[in-house]
A and B are shown apart, each in its own frame.
Chain A
């Protein structure tokens, strides 16, 4: 009898510790306000693109609007859209193609602010297709039928690369796209596993410094002043806390403008959340951070993506963009 009692008690303790094992103390999550200050978590990828957010935070642009900002920097953007929809993050940062894919699948999200844009300067943009030194590939036209790496298949990388090839008079239909993380592309290029790589900063600078050559400024080719990414939120938050969304947009816009006007401070803030060394920090091409989402360029991106078959149906930009 007593033995059974002890066994039962011990089992109960086990059950509760196992339950505690999974639990988490700081599961606030829902962006509750305390003392008029909204706690806001933004899902970001820790790359150069989101530097304005870190800069704006240190300048107090968010605090001024009663927003206590934290950046949740995960690996890769795949978790950001689900994170925003589930309420884990109040806002997120994602490229427009990913947002359009989500929109065509009726995921309830909406862009609230511009994220990052092309510099619109040929050969001086923060993303490009590169080849290794001595490669027979001279222009985008030569990429036809070649192996090109992108960080995510069926996303913005292959869309803009195809457009570069098309504009150079090549046939983009038989390019073999290979998926791999940006940091792996240099080694793959040098080993000859791929013929060309679609990369962004800081890998673009590193590859160029090692003798690599740029063959296409893909963002510039895709559309004039292409908006590449945006900050977005869930329809739920928009309907329940429109005021917070409005304040967040204002703070982001102020941050974007400030970042665009203070490139030195941007390079400085990179040291706080990336490990890009000082030399590379000084050398990287910074993107543009306009406040407006360029709707014409977004429309072009949508049309190109539809032509590629990335979207199940044409994205409805009126529903997605602010």
Chain B
């Protein structure tokens, strides 16, 4: 029963993907869209194979992943630390609430001119945008996590004279951890979006820049091939963070509950 249920979605997923590819192959071939603007899937795949044979493609992929990983790492570290500190000191929380609410909705892409002024077309530009966008995702989740600490557990820990570190380690952290992971998962996707955007718009090295170059070179199939790569990257990153979350939170009710249902 359960194995059939698990097997089917995968099969269905592949069938869906195959269907999409067939549609993408037929649309231009039947003349419903111009193949110059949307080439058939087979030509996109061929262009992808060509790209995979070039060193430039792998370098660009590496650049994108590097900017994504470094940006995410910094954002998560800063977000978790800031969240724990702000969340556990009520005065700080009250002090920063309006500032956070003011800064958080600023779309990272609005900072592109600033990034260009500061770092030109270098890695720093991408990092600035990635960090800014990902930081808030983590921070806000951690703040919720800290606020979710059970007051009874907290009081119990206090009455047993747990040290500050002990309370953070045994009460605060386990409560906040699922929220942290939600934050990381959201931040991981947002970081990829911003990394590609920065490369596409600013021209910082990476897949986004390759897409722009393909567009400027009238290499339409190559452009689509690179877009497919960014999509696949998004799926991979999502899978990775979900798997990581499930593994590391295997003890937590939210994950155990997911399995039981």
Does the CB pair A79–B116 fall under 8 Å? yes
Chain B residues with Cβ below 8 Å from A7 are 85, 88-89, 92
A18 at the interface (CB under 8 A from B): yes
Checking B37, B82, B128, B217 against A14 with a beta-carbon cut-off of 8 angstroms, the contacting residue is B82
Main secondary structure of the interface of A (DSSP, over half): helix
Chain A residues with Cβ below 8 Å from B239 are none
Does the CB pair A24–B124 fall under 8 Å? yes
Checking B37, B82, B92, B222 against A275 with a beta-carbon cut-off of 8 angstroms, the contacting residue is B222
CB proximity of B196 to chain A, nearest CB, Å = 13
Q: Pick from A56-64, A67-75, A93-101, A293-301 the stretch touching chain B.
A: A67-75
CB proximity of A270 to chain B, nearest CB, Å = 9
Does the CB pair A276–B218 fall under 8 Å? yes
Does the CB pair B219–A275 fall under 8 Å? yes
Does the CB pair A75–B212 fall under 8 Å? yes
Does the CB pair A83–B218 fall under 8 Å? no
Checking B74, B212, B215 against A17 with a beta-carbon cut-off of 8 angstroms, the contacting residue is B74
Chain A residues with Cβ below 8 Å from B164 are 2-3, 6
B103-144 CB contact bits vs A (8 Å, 1 = yes)? 000000000000011111111100110010001000000000
- The docked-state distance in angstroms from the alpha carbon of A23 to that of B217 is 33
Checking A14, A24, A72, A206 against B78 with a beta-carbon cut-off of 8 angstroms, the contacting residue is A14
Given A17-B74, A22-B118, A26-B122: A10 and B217 interface contact (C-beta under 8 Å) = no
- The docked-state distance in angstroms from the alpha carbon of A72 to that of B36 is 30
- The docked-state distance in angstroms from the alpha carbon of A183 to that of B164 is 60
Does the CB pair B78–A26 fall under 8 Å? no
Q: Could you tell me which residues of chain A, from 271 to 295, have a CB within 8 Å of some CB in chain B?
A: 273-277, 280
- The docked-state distance in angstroms from the alpha carbon of A24 to that of B124 is 5
Closest to A273 in B: B213
- The docked-state distance in angstroms from the alpha carbon of A3 to that of B78 is 19
Checking A11, A13, A75 against B201 with a beta-carbon cut-off of 8 angstroms, the contacting residue is A75
Does the CB pair A183–B120 fall under 8 Å? no
Residue from B120, B122, B163, B203 whose CB has the most chain A CB atoms within 10 Å: B120
- The docked-state distance in angstroms from the alpha carbon of A297 to that of B211 is 36
Closest to B204 in A: A74
- The docked-state distance in angstroms from the alpha carbon of A88 to that of B74 is 25
Does the CB pair A26–B123 fall under 8 Å? yes
Given A23-B124, A24-B124, A74-B203: A11 and B216 interface contact (C-beta under 8 Å) = no
Chain B residues with Cβ below 8 Å from A182 are 216
Given A24-B124, A24-B127, A75-B212: A203 and B203 interface contact (C-beta under 8 Å) = no
Chain A residues with Cβ below 8 Å from B131 are 18, 21-22
A186-211 CB contact bits vs B (8 Å, 1 = yes)? 11001000000000001100100010
Q: Could you tell me which residues of chain B, from 87 to 107, have a CB within 8 Å of some CB in chain A?
A: 88-89, 92
- The docked-state distance in angstroms from the alpha carbon of A224 to that of B2 is 78
Residue from A11, A27, A75, A206 whose CB has the most chain B CB atoms within 10 Å: A75
CB proximity of A191 to chain B, nearest CB, Å = 10
A37 at the interface (CB under 8 A from B): no
Given A14-B81, A79-B116, A275-B222: A74 and B121 interface contact (C-beta under 8 Å) = yes
Chain A residues with Cβ below 8 Å from B118 are 22
Chain B residues with Cβ below 8 Å from A74 are 120-121, 202-203
- The docked-state distance in angstroms from the alpha carbon of A2 to that of B82 is 18
Chain A residues with Cβ below 8 Å from B180 are none
CB proximity of B164 to chain A, nearest CB, Å = 5
A1-41 CB contact bits vs B (8 Å, 1 = yes)? 01100110011011001101111111100000000000000
CB proximity of B75 to chain A, nearest CB, Å = 7
Instruction: Give 11 CB contacts A-B under 8 Å.
Output: A6-B164, A11-B82, A26-B123, A46-B213, A73-B121, A74-B120, A83-B120, A274-B217, A276-B217, A276-B218, A277-B219
Residues in B lying within 8 Å of A, measured CB to CB: 34, 36-37, 71, 74-75, 77-78, 81-82, 84-85, 88-89, 92, 116-124, 127-128, 131, 135, 163-165, 200-203, 209-210, 212-219, 222
| 15 further A-B pairs in the complex, CB-CB below 8 A; given A23-B124, A203-B218, A273-B213 | A10-B81, A11-B82, A14-B78, A17-B77, A22-B127, A26-B123, A46-B213, A72-B120, A72-B121, A74-B121, A74-B203, A182-B216, A183-B218, A275-B210, A280-B217
